[in-house]
Every structure is written in structure tokens, then in C-alpha cells.
Amino acid sequence: MNTISDIIQKRRTIDPDCFNGKIVPKVIIDKMLAATNWAPNHGHTEPWDFIIFEGHEKCKEFGVIHANLYKANNTPEHFLQKKYDKLLHRADNCSHVIICTNKRGNSKNIPDLEEICATSAAIQNLLLVAQENGVATFWSTGGLTHHDAFKAYFGYSEKDTVLAVIYIGYTDVEIPEGKRNSDFSNKVKYYQ
Ligand SMILES: Cc1cc2nc3c(=O)[nH]c(=O)nc-3n(C[C@H](O)[C@H](O)[C@H](O)COP(=O)(O)O)c2cc1C
């Protein structure tokens, strides 16, 4: 069975180092992106925005950009060659890399928090459709993801928020069991 409940539970964060380099067909990427557009959003603001690096060459190019942004925005004392190298090669086995950003509109009635909620829901939709199609994903906020220089580089404004870099590919490794510290029932209070 591949019910929505199964897909939700089976989705796992897979390290891109475990990707096998195979390319996800555009038709599947399009399905993942189409799903983002059905996320709930307050006031029809649809605040999600995506930049997509497609194929090995572009994914590697993203690695170069990210690593160089890291270098340019760190003092020599804080710069770590190991971190630079990791960012440089993070996407080497990826099929696609998607930068997911909350693009803040002008609607004063909708608070930032709600826009970020909507964009997060859009990202989860993307991950679930990936899972439905056997595609591995990794939601990352590492490196310079939250740095102003990162969003400026990609043409976003100060008001916008980069919420994720999603590394996408296929993997041959066995998908690990999910882990949660406590059952949902511990996070629920009923008024009956
Ligand atoms: C907002 C957000 C940011 C995340 N950033 C990172 C990250 O930078 N590095 C990482 O290894 N995982 C990151 N993750 C993935 C989590 O590590 C992962 O969801 C968690 O371990 C649970 O595993 P699962 O997704 O397989 O259920 C992020 C997840 C979210 C929601």
C-alpha cells in the first residue's frame, strides 16, 4: 500500500553522500513542484519560491557557489577548510538541488510566521511526492543557507527567508527506520 499515511511515515532524510548519481526525470521533478503549489496558505499569498539546479554540472556549480560564499563570508580565523570542502562536494552525486525560499509579499495582514508556515508546508508536499516516486531527499539548512549573503546572491530581498536547500537524487542504500523520541500521544492533550 502506498497511502498518504505510509508515504508520510516512510519519508526519510537521506544524506546526499549516499546518492548514486542517477538523474530524476523532469516529469517527477515537475510533480514534486506542482505539489508545492497546493500547500495551504493564508490570504492566497502563495509565498513559496524555488531555484533549481538541474543535472550534475549545475549541482556541482551550486557546490562551488555555496563553498565560495562560505569562504567570502568568514574571517580567516573562523574559516574551516573541511567545511569548505564539504559544501563544495555536497551536491556532487545529486540529480537536482532546490533552494526553497519564503518570498515575502506586501500583504500586511499576514504575519511573517504564517508565510513561513505556508512555505514549510509547500516543502513538505515536495518531499512527500518525492517519497511517493522513490526519490531521496535531504532538507539542509547547513552552510550559508541562513546567511544574508546567500539570499542576496540568489536575488532575494532582506524580507525573504531561505528555508531549505533540498538535495535530490536516488540512492541504493537501505532506507533507515524512522526515529522519533516519543510517540505522538505524548504531544497531544484532549479536551473531552
Ligand atoms: C527546518 C529543517 C532544517 C534541517 N536542516 C538539516 C541540516 O542542516 N542538516 C541535516 O543533517 N538535517 C537537516 N534536517 C533534517 C533533519 O535532520 C531530519 O528531518 C531529522 O533527523 C528527522 O529525520 P527524518 O526526516 O528522516 O524523519 C532539517 C530538517 C528541517 C525540518
**For residue range 39-48, what is the model confidence (pLDDT) as tens digits?**
999 999 999 9
Residue nearest to atom 16 of ligand 1 (CA): 13
How large is the average pLDDT for residues 7-29?
A: 98
- Whether residue 2 is predicted with pLDDT greater than 90 in this model: the reply is no
Q: Output the CA–CA distances (angstroms, integers) from residue 91 to 61, 94, 130, 190, in the order listed.
A: 9, 5, 17, 44
- Bridge partners of 169, per DSSP, are 136
Q: Select from 133, 81, 88, 123 the least CA-distant residue to 102.
A: 123
Q: Select from 102, 108, 98, 99 the least CA-distant residue to 159.
A: 102
How far is the centre of ligand 1, averaged over its atoms, from the C-alpha of 140 (Å)? 6
pLDDT at 168: 99
Task: Give the span between the Cα atoms of 149 and 129, in whole angstroms.
Answer: 31
How far is the centre of ligand 1, averaged over its atoms, from the C-alpha of 41 (Å)? 23
In the block, cell 573541511 appears at: 82
Each residue's pLDDT tens digit, 170-183: 999 999 999 999 99
Q: Take residue 5 and report the three cell numbers written for it.
A: 499515511
Pocket test for ligand 1, best of 141, 147, 163, 180 (most atoms within 8 A of CB): 141
pLDDT at 118: 98
Q: Select from 191, 2, 38 the least CA-distant residue to 126.
A: 38
Atom of ligand 1 nearest to the CA of 15: 11
Q: Output the CA–CA distances (angstroms, integers) from residue 134 to 28, 59, 162, 169, in the order listed.
A: 10, 20, 26, 9
Query: Which of 3.40.190.120, 3.30.390.30, 1.10.246.90, 3.40.109.10 would CATH assign to domain 13-172?
Result: 3.40.109.10
Ligand 1: which residues within 6 Å by Cβ? 12-13, 139-142, 178
Task: Give the span between the Cα atoms of 30 and 57, in whole angstroms.
Answer: 20
Q: Take residue 89 and report the three cell numbers written for it.
A: 562536494
| Overall pTM > 0.85 | yes
